[in-house]
Structure 1
Amino acid sequence: MSQKLNLGWLGAVAMGVVLSVAAQEKPADFTTQVPLSVAGEGPWYRLELPLSVQLNARQADLSDVRVFNAVGDVQAYALAREAAQSSETRTLTEVKWFPLYSSVDATETAPSVRVQSSANGTLVEVQPSSQLEAGEEELRGWLLDASAIKAPLQQLILDWTSELDGFQRFTLEASDDLQHWQSWGEGQVARLSFSDERVEQHEVGLPGQSARYLRLLWITPHSAPTLTSAQLQSASTRSLPLPLVWSQALAGSSVKAGEYTWQLPMGLNVERVQVELSQPNSLAPVSLAGRRDSSLPWQPLGSGLLYRLSQNGQDVVQNELPLSGQIVQQLKLTVDERGGGLGDQAPTLKFAVRATQLVFLARGPGPYTLVVGNATAKAANLPLSTLIPDYSPAKLATLGRAMVDVGVVATQPSTGATSAPIDTNWKKFGLWAVLLLCVVFLVAMAFSLLRKPSAKS
């Protein structure tokens, strides 16, 4: 009991210190002010910060974000910004696969099969529901046994034999009972020859959900390859990361053939980029580099193969590159021109960052205002466990919601945004001067008392 009281007392002290540090700040000290509306039960409210608001910040770590009430009092708040890999443990597991056959002229969506499994659900045998003669059967796809994997599935990695190069597309479904199937979308693998080199794509992203079985059905079965390996990557997480939020298209520039650069609005923890491929049948092996500003050397961020190819009357597009999430403000894409390049004009680029949630403790009268944009503001956010004494991820989901009025996000910079920091500095100087004068007065008084001769008895 005493430990809980001590933790609560320390939390109250920490909150008081933070509020006192920010007590001199006013909404006019910040360049952008956005009204908030709240719904649900308080006194805590959580707000997902729109990227358009974050881009008005003057500091990459959002140290200059604040929430004020109707009378200008700053509110205690916390930021929740989990990195994509912060709480994940990834495991790669080799899984069994079973061929799925149907007759050549079959019209059903998926082949009908007879399944034999063990007591724990592991597949032992998978056979067609009816016996097919040689020449009547066609390989439609594969049934993958993931029953031994308990964690959410993140990635499927395939290897195969095939006499033909090219793309192999398939649909993917998931099930726990082999009776009811849920669509997980489409995937594709590729094996291409490129200027005496082999370019291969083996990985297929999965939605991060658990499933005991996966069903892979080729879109063009007559040219389907034969699998030689199937692996599933799973990830155990203590808490799911916040989703990615994408920017608007960003124009770039090119001063050298095969090199394109983009300037981001500020330094950001970029986790993914998407490059526009406007021309059909584009193929470009690329490498991406980034840096904080022009005075620093370029640092490699990743590489990959971008393409937009026409196949069976449809465009097959791969135009994204994953990044590690380090802070960058400039990006440079270098293209291997042997693939034909991406043209003289720089393509547009979109970038994605991890969503940020702000949780604040409502104090005083509403309405509340979110402000951002102050290069000299000091960080004032608290840990979630301090802001909410009995915090848990489950409780976070039950908090009231705060919402930004999207139509007012593009607020004009406040007229007092430039003069306010100077005025605040003069106030600080005045307070320090008063304190120093008090100290000097006390020292002089003590010195005079020490020099005064003691009274004789």
Structure 2
Amino acid sequence: MSQKLNPVWLLLGMAMSVGAQEKPADFAAQVLLAVSGSGPWYRLELPLNVQLQARQTDLSDLRVFNAAGEPQAYALARESAQTRDDGRLNDVKWFPLYNSADATERAPSVRVQSSANGTLVEVQPSSQLEAGEEVLRGWLLDASAIKAPLQQLILDWTSERDGFQRFSIEASDDLQHWQAWGEGQVARLTFSDERIEQHEVALPGRSARYLRLLWDSSSFAPILTSAQLKSSDPRNLPLPLVWSQALAGSTTKAGEYTWQLPMGLNVERVQVELKQPNSLAPVTLAGRRESSLPWQTLSSGLLYRLTQNGQDVVQNELQLYGQPVQQLKLTVDERGGGLGEQAPSVKYAVRATQVIFLARGEGPFSLALGNPTVKIANLPLSTLIPDFTPAKLAALGKATVQGAAVATPTAPATATVAEQTNWKKFGLWAVLLLSVVFLGAMAFSLLRKPPAKS
């Protein structure tokens, strides 16, 4: 009676056989892993400096080994900007927050009327303000209809003059207790007959029923004409961005700077160092995979570091769409003063990569990278973990990198064998040369021998 093989174990066996002949010494770099929590599956957030040890852009040369040097079944959790769900855009209601011009408290006191489900109907000052006394200090946004974490705030406004709008962001579920969510900044600027606008503000990815935006006492809030909140399903939240160390660049002509990345990467953000205060630079960022390919425009925008009211207002990031690039070029419109003769350093950000492996055998476990010839060996998550769900992924044991990646040493035996092989080659060549000389001597002696008399 034949027994049917479980397809999951069959695929696991096939994956193990792919790397059955591979050993840690076949890879250029290794790093030790420490595991904690309940196994047998462990999840590792791969640091960018370790990922850069790979020789294949898609991480096909990544492997996990146990203490005996046996490969472990593993999967990669990766995503790109092209495939990621960027969330849903929600229009929300907004209500003005007034205060008296000489009020000492920052947050205006208000009376609120809401419906049974928490939706705001009316927001009024707690005390009646006379004409000329009221000052617009901020806005209250009603996000009660949004049941998902909030990722981004998008505003539009009117004001008497262009410039920056800076405000604090607070969140609440009951309109009584407020939690700080940091600061926001939007801008509307005119430069060389061009209008440059920044409408988006990043939010921390948490849920809240209400948001409060407050301008400080030295500036009045503008009139809002639109307010939107982008939310994401908790099951589809993107992996976090991981940032590189500062990367030095070079310049070949005024207003043009280039940088070489360690390998092809799906870059989603670039941060440009702005050393000098009061720098203003309209820029265009281009990229390519290699020097033989033409440059492709990736992003454009206005970079600035300006001092206002004793504080630096900085916008030094450009957003990309995750295209794989290995070279970057920044072209600066020098009518804004430029960024100097020396190329500024940049940092780049990519989406985090998670490695999930099934621990088999004894630890310590290690991760190896750096082999341009090996084939892909990772499994789909649904194969590695039966009945996989995002909740299961969050509950897995945790693996962390211990120390920096270490280069795999060359085995002394290999050098000895190479030396022996070289001596054998030299010996064979010597024998051949001696044979040629011997044959030449014999031929010469035969030619010099007098002919026999008849």
- Identify the TM-score tier after normalising by the shorter chain: 0.7 to 0.9
Aligned mate of 1:381, from 378, 381, 403: 378
Amino acid at match of 1:109: R
Q: Tell whether 2:344 aligns with 1:347.
A: yes
2: CA distance between counterparts of 1:228 and 1:393?
39
Cα 1:262–1:144 change in 2 (3 A) is same
Aligned mate of 1:295, from 292, 306, 310: 292
- Correspondence list, 1:358-437, <5 A: 358-406=355-403, 409-416=404-411
Aligned mate of 2:242, from 237, 241, 245: 245
2: CA distance between counterparts of 1:21 and 1:233?
43
Asked if 2 retains the 8 angstrom alpha-carbon contact of 1:78 and 1:382, the reply is yes
- Correspondence list, 1:37-436, <5 A: 37-84=34-81, 86-88=83-85, 90-220=87-217, 222-236=219-233, 238-406=235-403, 409-416=404-411
**How far does the alpha carbon of each residue in 1:304-348 deviate from its partner, in whole angstroms, 9 at most, with x for none?**
111100000000011111111121100111111111111111100
**How far does the alpha carbon of each residue in 1:269-306 deviate from its partner, in whole angstroms, 9 at most, with x for none?**
11111100001011111111111100111111111111
1:68 to partner: Cα distance: 1.2
Q: Which runs of 5+ in 2 are unaligned?
A: 419-454
1:85 to partner: Cα distance: 6.0
2: CA distance between counterparts of 1:105 and 1:135?
12
Cα 1:353–1:337 change in 2 (3 A) is same
1:155 to partner: Cα distance: 2.1
Asked if 1 retains the 8 angstrom alpha-carbon contact of 2:136 and 2:220, the reply is no
What is the DSSP-based 3-state SS (H/G/I as helix, E as strand, rest coil) of the residue aligned with 2:164?
strand
The residue that corresponds to 1:10 in the other structure is 7
**How far does the alpha carbon of each residue in 1:82-127 deviate from its partner, in whole angstroms, 9 at most, with x for none?**
3356352633333221111112121113111000111222211111
2: CA distance between counterparts of 1:91 and 1:49?
29
Q: Tell me the matched-pair count.
A: 414
The residue that corresponds to 2:25 in the other structure is 28
Amino acid at match of 1:91: R
The residue that corresponds to 2:430 in the other structure is none
1:221 to partner: Cα distance: 5.2
Amino acid at match of 1:135: G
Larger radius of gyration: 2
What is the DSSP-based 3-state SS (H/G/I as helix, E as strand, rest coil) of the residue aligned with 2:407?
coil
Amino acid at match of 1:411: V
What is the DSSP-based 3-state SS (H/G/I as helix, E as strand, rest coil) of the residue aligned with 2:233?
strand
2: CA distance between counterparts of 1:257 and 1:413?
43
1: CA distance between counterparts of 2:90 and 2:391?
30
What is the DSSP-based 3-state SS (H/G/I as helix, E as strand, rest coil) of the residue aligned with 1:394?
helix
2: CA distance between counterparts of 1:323 and 1:222?
33
CA-based RMSD of the aligned residues comes to: 2.1
2: CA distance between counterparts of 1:273 and 1:140?
34
Amino acid at match of 2:410: T
Cα 1:168–1:344 change in 2 (3 A) is same
**How far does the alpha carbon of each residue in 1:157-198 deviate from its partner, in whole angstroms, 9 at most, with x for none?**
222222122111101111121111121111112122212222
2: CA distance between counterparts of 1:347 and 1:122?
49
Asked if 1 retains the 8 angstrom alpha-carbon contact of 2:29 and 2:406, the reply is yes
Cα 1:87–1:202 change in 2 (3 A) is closer
Identity %, equivalent residues: 76
1:375 to partner: Cα distance: 0.4
2: CA distance between counterparts of 1:47 and 1:134?
61
What is the DSSP-based 3-state SS (H/G/I as helix, E as strand, rest coil) of the residue aligned with 1:411?
strand
TM-score normalized with structure 1 length: 0.86
Asked if 1 retains the 8 angstrom alpha-carbon contact of 2:89 and 2:231, the reply is yes
1: CA distance between counterparts of 2:254 and 2:181?
40
